[in-house]
Amino acid sequence: MIRIFVTGGTFDKTYDEIRGALAFDDTHLPEMLRLGRSRVEVSIRTLMMVDSLDMTDADRELIVRHCGQCEESQIVITHGTDTMVETARAIAAGVQEKTVVLTGAMIPYAFGSSDGLFNLGSALSFAQVLPPGVYIAMNGQHFAWDKVRKNRETGVFEAL
Amino acid sequence: MIRIFVTGGTFDKTYDEIRGALAFDDTHLPEMLRLGRSRVEVSIRTLMMVDSLDMTDADRELIVRHCGQCEESQIVITHGTDTMVETARAIAAGVQEKTVVLTGAMIPYAFGSSDGLFNLGSALSFAQVLPPGVYIAMNGQHFAWDKVRKNRETGVFEAL
Amino acid sequence: MIRIFVTGGTFDKTYDEIRGALAFDDTHLPEMLRLGRSRVEVSIRTLMMVDSLDMTDADRELIVRHCGQCEESQIVITHGTDTMVETARAIAAGVQEKTVVLTGAMIPYAFGSSDGLFNLGSALSFAQVLPPGVYIAMNGQHFAWDKVRKNRETGVFEAL
Amino acid sequence: MIRIFVTGGTFDKTYDEIRGALAFDDTHLPEMLRLGRSRVEVSIRTLMMVDSLDMTDADRELIVRHCGQCEESQIVITHGTDTMVETARAIAAGVQEKTVVLTGAMIPYAFGSSDGLFNLGSALSFAQVLPPGVYIAMNGQHFAWDKVRKNRETGVFEAL
């Protein structure tokens, strides 16, 4: 059983047609798993629904606490890409003996051309086979939390 | 570097609008990797473009030979689901010391609602971290080649 | 109020993932109208769900009878493209004083890249403003039933 | 030949993956017409690429002048929905003897679930058959410019 924590990010951005702006509504995770015909046993919980630039220390503490307290030892977290590495660091400092994989998307899933479905398949797979530790899974690759940074110019995660 | 061998299957079925029927054209793999924003280094080669029910022993020999001869030790094969297990068995008999992951789709990628993008992200990830052996990656799960069968009634791969 | 008669055709083809083949299931019309945010008052009725190459004279009689007997004077019919002109001729012979617009698609709506949504918007619009008669609406154009043929080589409807 | 003027609006909003925000890039009109397999002869010109809430009087003058001066007597304008009626009024005051149809979308075309393709098929069809005048085509319906308002609460165009 894999625990999935949803925290928002581009992954789950949607288009508010009355205001004509990006917004957060419910998570698309269940729909994505259905579309991907996933048969991985998962338990999904939405912890927050925020742009990762707006994520506070209190938000990160909440994520760390949930990772530590949940029964599952394999965890996938959907997260905005801008501060994904920062949250990974907080989890690494507070959680032991679990495989935690953070993932996200550059394009909202609600837009047809999303990398989210690809990344979700990738993150769930890495979570099943990587040894305990905190990882970032993006672009089909995985990085230990302290060996990666996001290049803000190109939008790409790069190995340090 | 991961080697990707394309053999056809539902993954790559397309719609021939003149004949009004399913058909095979070029593979969608490069487009899917671009859409998924994959940054995994891959080398793609189309070996054949067939429905796996039409795959012959000669076709399987060709796949086995290419798996054995290519330089890469991590291989992903896109394949029709109906005889995926049979091809996996042939590879297991003929190829040693390589991680070979077969994957496919229940719905063509060209149809919007494909599980192909999810499975591709999954297969590429498993290929990077699983020890040498022959595996099937479907539905977010992975199975050793001799521990799985496709349930033709439900379309689902089940552990033996 | 516009009456919509569904008869099948490429418009409504779907992919049967167990058999790995094209199939007909329920019509996608309601979903398409919702997606297009249509506010045209319509009443939808599925008369049959067939490939138009398989349509019989009895099928055409049924369509003609329904066009004649329904209360609405504006009618849109979704239909396979191969024999669309033949059905239009039968309706022209049997129905007077109504605006009947036949439309279809070259690519199934269930495939992401469908021309169906475009054609549906077009057909509903033509049905509201054209004088009584039987028309074919394809590719953003409209043709009187006796001034058009389908070019089987190119898949395009051409004026005679 | 129908002239299409592009002015921006939700129709053409796209997602800037570096900034994580909505943006305008090139128009999607040619791609949409290709997807819809449109065979209507059109000539496309982008006049501006703005949110219609940011449209100025000078912008409207420019649109009116282009409508008056172009050779075509059938014109489709893609436009943000918020001030579509205001622009329609300006055109009605400055352009005679032409059929001008404004249309737009509630959801960007770049998002999979767009009403844009449906509306485009509708607007092109109305432009071919309505008598000279200025119209708004949304939701499969058409309204004379002075008989409609946008309900900002529901996002729907309503007859006055």
CB C138 within 8 A of CB C157: yes
Contact C36 D119 (CB under 8 A): yes
Q: pLDDT averaged over chain C?
A: 96
Neighbors of chain D with 3 or more C-beta pairs under 8 Å: A, C
Of chain D residues 28-67, which have a CB less than 8 A from chain A? Answer: 51
Q: pLDDT averaged over chain D?
A: 96
Contact D112 A107 (CB under 8 A): no
| pLDDT for the residue numbered A110 | 87
CB C88 within 8 A of CB C136: yes
| pLDDT for the residue numbered A5 | 98
pLDDT at C37 over 80: yes
Neighbors of chain A with 3 or more C-beta pairs under 8 Å: B, D
Candidate from D38, D137, D141 with C-beta closest to C118:
D38
Per-residue model confidence as pLDDT tens digits over A129-158: 999 999 999 999 999 999 999 998 998 999
pLDDT at A125 over 80: yes
Contact D118 C113 (CB under 8 A): no
pLDDT at D94 over 90: yes
| pLDDT for the residue numbered C48 | 98
Per-residue model confidence as pLDDT tens digits over C65-89: 999 999 999 999 999 999 999 999 9
If pLDDT is split at 50, 70 and 90, which confidence band does D59 have?
very high
Contact C120 D125 (CB under 8 A): no
Contact A18 D153 (CB under 8 A): yes
Token pair 């059905």 is found at C87
Per-residue model confidence as pLDDT tens digits over B82-101: 999 999 999 999 999 999 99
| pLDDT for the residue numbered A111 | 84
3-state secondary structure A90-107: HHHHHCCCCEEEEECCCC
Contact B110 C110 (CB under 8 A): no
If pLDDT is split at 50, 70 and 90, which confidence band does A84 have?
very high
- State ipTM: 0.96
For A149, list phi and psi in degrees, rounded to 5.
-145, 155
pLDDT at A113 over 80: no
| Mean pLDDT for the stretch of residues A63-85 | 98
For chain B, percent of residues with pLDDT exceeding 70: 99
| pLDDT for the residue numbered A112 | 75
Tokens of A120: 């979700």
Neighboring chain B residues of C113 at a CB cutoff of 8 Å: 110
Neighboring chain B residues of C82 at a CB cutoff of 8 Å: 20
If pLDDT is split at 50, 70 and 90, which confidence band does D119 have?
very high
Tokens of C38: 């249509």
pTM exceeds cut of 0.90: yes
- For residue A32, the distance in angstroms to the closest alpha carbon of chain B comes to 9
Is B142 near chain A, with CB under 8 Å? yes
Token pair 């095979």 is found at B24
pLDDT at A14 over 80: yes
| pLDDT for the residue numbered B111 | 84
| pLDDT for the residue numbered D124 | 98
Question: Beta-carbon neighbour count of residue A23 at 10 Å?
Answer: 13
Of chain B residues 68-97, which have a CB less than 8 A from chain A? Answer: none
User: Of A105, D57, C140, C65, nearest to B121 (Cα)?
Assistant: A105
Largest Cα–Cα separation, chain A: 46
Token pair 């494909």 is found at B114
Contact C38 D113 (CB under 8 A): no
| Mean pLDDT for the stretch of residues D28-53 | 96
B29 by DSSP, 3-state: which? helix
| pLDDT for the residue numbered D110 | 87
CB pairs under 8 A between C and D: 103
